[in-house]
Amino acid sequence: MGDLPGLRLRCDRSNAWRLLRTLHMAHDATFDLRSAFAQNPGRFEAFSQEAPYVFADLSKNLIDSTIEDQLLALARECGVEQHRDAMFQGAPINETEQRAVKHWLLRSPAAGTDAHDPDLAAVHAVLDAMLAFAESVRSHAAITDVVNIGIGGSDLGPQMAVLALDAFADSGKRLHFVSNVDGHELAATLRGLNPGNTLFLVASKTFTTTETMTNARSAKAWFLAGGGTDVARHFCALTTNVEAAAAFGIRTTFGFWDWVGGRYSLWSAIGLPIAIAIGGPGFRAFLAGAHAMDCHFRAAPLERNLPVRLGLLDVWYRNFCGFHSRSIAPYHSALRRWPAYLQQLEMESNGKRVDMQGNPLGFDTAPVLWGEPGTNGQHAYFQMLHQGTDVVPVEFVAVRDASHTLPGHHANLLANALAQAQALMLGRSDPGGHRDFPGNRPSSFLLLDALTPASLGALIALQEHRVFVSGSLWGINSFDQWGVELGKVLARDIEPRLASGDTTGLDLSTAGLLRRLRRQA
């Protein structure tokens, strides 16, 4: 009987967890990737697999089939499949907010297996309207620039995807993303823009986020001061808070629902910048790629289920091997915001320290995710990955087909990706010390045939579901984010003090900094 909602069992209370602890002791002392390949010529096949649009080579990870079998037993014992099914049935698995978790419905076809879902018709109605609007913007010659104002999930997802799909961007519009409340960003973006040629998308699930509202108000003031005459035509809102958007003076609003988490919202109206960039058919292909990954996650047996295998590997590395971080290495320049996007997805979802019941956890959760596009990272921090004292699993993403025609570049890029993964694993012995590479350093290699709307959709959905799997095992709520609240509350208290200079009740450090900022030190 489980101790979490839905009769689930928290991972550390399972038999499989205890067995994994024992296995780890022996494994840690003896496992070496080089001998694992030498002993098992079928290792590549056993630890690699196809999933929709993504081929994954997991063979250079610090696992063997005994470990993986036990991790799969952990998933079964802890009810990951039941939890997954509950999410896809629309159960309110976001318990702390009493909400369902249905971002997957946003990419479900109108007449598919989810046709019975009471929300599906509304999803498609908004999708159709939003894509029609995107087409009207694309064909509107007077609009040359589109500025998305949003932050967190209302920025990172669309921005990452618009950059990633720049080879498919055929609208001729310039897309800009403004997220930071630092006016430097908005001012730099507005410089050179003309109100009459600019469309602002105010993207905010809540329509209350300070950064976004501050930027939206300043954009409106700039628009009016520059002779802009029709706010209703030049501002569009993407939000669940339709009333607040109307109060702002916006008439064109595309809504979504409270069962879409901010970091899972790029499939909703929040994806409008993507649709403007690549067009309606491209956006539908993006959704279809993600849906294909949903089908895989829902139906594939656990041992060939890629999100499950990746999520289990994450638990193995974090809770048994004690690795603190994962480095994300996209070998494609268009994926340059991929690490930032994944940071929010995984660290906001799984950076939790209590279980669903509020009980403190006696084990670690989300690792730190960080990275830069390859090959740039190689010339910066890869030194530490190869020879530093910490072991950091690396997740490579590479794309077989180039999205340009410049000769020579792509083979060089791919050779570097393969070589780095190889060097991490094989190392090189040099008794002199400084030139010695220990090797046996783990990596996963995700490979796309081409970076297209569909493959990007599948790649993102893969990551969403792997985060679900580790969060489910840890027994945490991957779908709330209470940890971002305290800083917001304190900022509201501090802001007026910057003007008044009142330091009453402040801690001494904050008071000292505030005085310095007011030049009173």
Contacting residues toward ligand F6P, per CB under 6 A: 151-154, 204-206, 209, 212, 262-263, 348, 481, 484
How many CB atoms neighbour CB 431 within 10 A?
6
Q: Which is nearer to ligand F6P, 209 or 305 (CB)?
A: 209
Q: Tell me, yes or no, if 296 is annotated catalytic.
A: no
Q: How far is the CB of 348 from ligand F6P (least distance, A)?
A: 6
Which residues on neighbouring strands pair with residue 54, listed in sequence order? Answer: 51
In the sheet that holds 235-239, the strands lie side by side as: 174-178, 145-149, 198-203, 235-239, 252-255
Q: Which is nearer to ligand F6P, 477 or 481 (CB)?
A: 481
C-alpha distances in Å from residue 53, one per residue of 133, 167, 301, 338, 475: 29, 18, 18, 17, 30
Q: What type of residue is 503?
A: T
Q: Which is nearer to ligand F6P, 4 or 272 (CB)?
A: 272
Q: Which is nearer to ligand F6P, 406 or 486 (CB)?
A: 486
Catalytic residue among 324, 404, 409, 488: 488
The alpha carbon torsion through 234, 239, 244, 246 (nearest 10 deg) reads 40
C-alpha distances in Å from residue 153, one per residue of 208, 271, 360, 363, 459: 14, 10, 27, 28, 17
Q: Which is nearer to ligand F6P, 153 or 282 (CB)?
A: 153
Q: Which is nearer to ligand F6P, 488 or 516 (CB)?
A: 488
CA 238 to chain centre: 19
Q: Tell me, yes or no, if 348 is annotated catalytic.
A: yes
Q: How far is the CB of 273 from ligand F6P (least distance, A)?
A: 14
**Dihedral-angle region of residue 235 (phi above 0 means left; psi in -120 to 50 means alpha; beta otherwise):** beta
Q: Which two tokens stand for residue 224?
A: 């009016």
Find the DSSP H helices in 165-302.
Answer: 183-190, 210-225, 231-234, 242-247, 272-278, 280-299
Q: How far is the CB of 481 from ligand F6P (least distance, A)?
A: 5
CB 131 within 8 A of CB 268: no
Q: Which is nearer to ligand F6P, 203 or 424 (CB)?
A: 203
Q: Which two tokens stand for residue 365?
A: 């959760």
Q: How far is the CB of 365 from ligand F6P (least distance, A)?
A: 17
Rounded CA gap, 312 and 62, in Å?
12
Q: How far is the CB of 342 from ligand F6P (least distance, A)?
A: 14
Q: Which two tokens stand for residue 56?
A: 């994954």
Q: How far is the CB of 447 from ligand F6P (least distance, A)?
A: 29
Q: Which is nearer to ligand F6P, 378 or 481 (CB)?
A: 481
Q: How far is the CB of 484 from ligand F6P (least distance, A)?
A: 4
Q: How far is the CB of 250 from ligand F6P (least distance, A)?
A: 15
Q: Which is nearer to ligand F6P, 152 or 475 (CB)?
A: 152
**Dihedral-angle region of residue 52 (phi above 0 means left; psi in -120 to 50 means alpha; beta otherwise):** beta
The sign one gets for the Cα dihedral 15, 18, 22, 28 is positive
**In sequence order, what are the residues at sequence separation of 6 or more whose Cβ sits closer than 8 angstroms to the Cβ of residue 210?**
181, 488, 491
Catalytic residue among 243, 324, 379, 495: 379
Rounded CA gap, 341 and 483, in Å?
18
CB 3 within 8 A of CB 13: yes
Q: How far is the CB of 102 from ligand F6P (least distance, A)?
A: 16
- β-strands 145-149, 54-57: how paired? unpaired
Catalytic residue among 68, 77, 211, 348: 348
Which residues on neighbouring strands pair with residue 396, listed in sequence order? Answer: 329, 445
Active site residues: 348, 379, 488
